[in-house]
Amino acid sequence: MASVDVIADPGGSFGYLLRSGPRARIGLARGRGSACGSTGAAVAWLLVEGGEGELVIGELHADVGGRDDVFEGPGWSALLGPRQRFAVRGNIRYSIAWRVRSRPATTRLISPDEVEVERRGSRSDDRLVATYVEEGPLICGETVSEPGCWSTWPPHRHEHEEVCLYRFDPAHGFGVRVLDTKEGDRRADIVREGQARRVRTGHHTVAAAPGARMYSLWALGGETDERVATEFDPRLA
């Protein structure tokens, strides 16, 4: 069985953006419409990006809705333990992040009211951070950055591998990631609507171009279940 296996109903869609594997700890995928699925030897986080419908996780279920898209505040999500069956029903758009893990993990639904939301930064790095899962094998959340702002400044690093899915409002906006290279230099990478990226190590940050808000779904996984220990780049602190 794959780490996460999803079968979309007729009229729906599902696609993998980043695969997990021997050199990649975390995978990421997106879907639209009704579907059923299961986790294998993996822990997963399923986030409802928008739409109306129902989320069914084993014996748990919730009528989900309340936001048309990710820029409108927290949404419904679920943390899925290994070998857990689930289904999404209705006109729903969703994302799934996962990592391989065979040890037991608690499956639970996370309502929007449970999500910790805080404003961070100042004029140059003004952003709204929503933390859904703050510790464990997966640490997950969403960030919405204002046009022209960094997330974060100075650049930061951590031992956790990280994957991000980027969205923009309006959708023709874009962002620029800046990352350390193995040679000790920096490189830039443009990100656009619906693109996913992975960071394994090194200092990194991303800026929204003027004219559009930038959204990022983020999921992190470390070698242990410890919280993320962030270090800012001393060269720019």
- For the stretch 81-138, pLDDT in tens is 999 999 999 999 999 999 999 888 999 999 999 999 999 998 899 999 999 999 999 9
Give the closest residue to 152 by CA, choosing from 133, 134, 128.
128
Residues of the chain below pLDDT 70:
1-2
The pLDDT of residue 159: 93
Q: Give, in degrees to the nearest 5, the angle at Cα 230 between 227 and 99.
A: 50
The pLDDT of residue 94: 98
Give the domains, in start order, of the chain with CATH numbers: 4-112 (2.60.120.10), 115-232 (2.60.120.10)
Question: Quick check: helix, strand or coil at residue 224?
Answer: coil
The pLDDT of residue 2: 65
The pLDDT of residue 1: 47
Residue labelled with tokens 């609507």: 193
